Amino acid sequence: MGNNILPQYSSLLLALYRLAQECPVQQFQDAALTLLKATLAFDSSMWGTATMNADGIDIHSIHLHNSSPAMLAAYEKVKHRDTAAVQVTAQPALTIGFCVDDFPGDDNAGLRQFLNDFGHRNFLITSSIHPATRFVQWVSLYRARLEARCQPAEVDLLACLAPHLMQALAINRLVHLDRLSHDVVRAKWSVAIADQRGVLYHADERFKSLVASAWGRDDPGRLPSALLARLVGDGKGPRTLMHEGVILYCSREQDVLFLKARAAEAVDTLSEREFLVARLLAGGLTHKEVATQLHRSPETIRTQIKAIFNKLDINNVALLGTLLAVRE
C-alpha cells in the first residue's frame, strides 16, 4: 500500500467505525459496502457466514448488496464447482481475486454461465475460517464488466480492510444488542448474538449459564438445539420464551438472532391482562379509570389489583413502575 493511499485508508476506517456506532443494524452492511465502494469499485456484494463441507459452502447468514435471492438459488446449483470458495478458505485468512476465465472447461460451463448471468465476471473474495469447525466469515465483491479485472493492489487493500469490516459489523451488532435492554433493568439481562444455525457470535458467560440451566448444553459454541428449534420455527417476529425459570427474548434481523436472557421474577407470573392493568395503574390511572378504559367493572379491576399486589408482594402502587420495567 503506497503512502498516497494512507490518508484515504485512514478516513475510510474512521467513517466505518463511526457507522458501526451510529447506523441501525438493519442498514449497517449496506452503508459499509457503499462506503467501501468509493475506494474499491464493485457492482454487487455478498457478505455472510457459512460452514465449508464436502458439498461446498453451507450458508448460515447472508447479506446481499445490489443482488437478489434468485442469485442464491442459482448458486446452489453450481456451488459444487466453486473452486474459488475452496481456494479462499484453504488458509485461516486469505483474499483472492478471480475472473470468469479462471474456470475453463466443459465441467465449469454451468458455473461460467452463472457468473455471467449475475454480473460476477470479476470478483474479490476475502475470508477468515476456523480450522477446526470450518466456520467461515467472508465478503465477496463482484464486478460485471469483463475488463474490470482485479488488480494485486486491490487484493492487498481488501485484505487490509477485511478485519475492520468484520470488527465493525461485530461492534454494530453489540451496540444494537445493548439498546435492546432498557437502562433501568440492563444489569438483569445477559445477552448473545447467534445465527439461524445456532452458532454464537457473542455471548456473555451469564447468558450461557442461564440457557444451559433451562435448555441443556449440546455445544458451548452454539445455542442448545431444543432452544434453537423454538426460535427459528414459523414466523420471524420477536418472541419471548419462559422455560425452567428463565426468560429469553429474541428478535431477528435478517438471518441473525439478537437474544437476551434473565432469571424469571415475580412480575413474570402476571397474566397478560394483569400486566396491562398494572401498567395502567403505574401510569397514574385510578382503578375506576382502568375499568373504564378496559371496559370492565370496577369490582373486577379491584380483584385483579389485589391479585397483582399479592403476586408482587407489594402494597403500594408507587412500587409498580420499577417492577414492571423488567418485563417491558
User: What pLDDT does residue 239 have?
Assistant: 86
User: What pLDDT does residue 235 have?
Assistant: 64
In 3D space, the residue among 2, 28, 9 whose CA is nearest the CA of residue 167 turns out to be 28
* Cell triple for 29: 452492511
Q: Quick check: 246 and 292 in contact, CB under 8 A?
A: no
Residues in the chain predicted with pLDDT less than 50, given as ranges, are none
Chain-centroid distance, C-alpha 41:
26
Model pTM greater than 0.75? yes
112 three-class SS: helix
pLDDT tens per residue across span 45-74: 999 999 988 777 888 999 999 999 999 999
Please, what are the domains in the chain?
3-176 (3.30.450.80), 184-264 (3.40.1840.10), 267-325 (1.10.10.10)
* β 44-53/200-203 pair status: unpaired
User: What pLDDT does residue 181 have?
Assistant: 65
User: What pLDDT does residue 249 have?
Assistant: 92
Other beta carbons less than 10 A from residue 164's beta carbon = 17
pLDDT tens per residue across span 105-155: 999 999 999 999 999 999 999 999 988 888 999 999 999 999 999 999 999
User: What pLDDT does residue 35 have?
Assistant: 97
Other beta carbons less than 10 A from residue 276's beta carbon = 15
User: What pLDDT does residue 5 have?
Assistant: 76
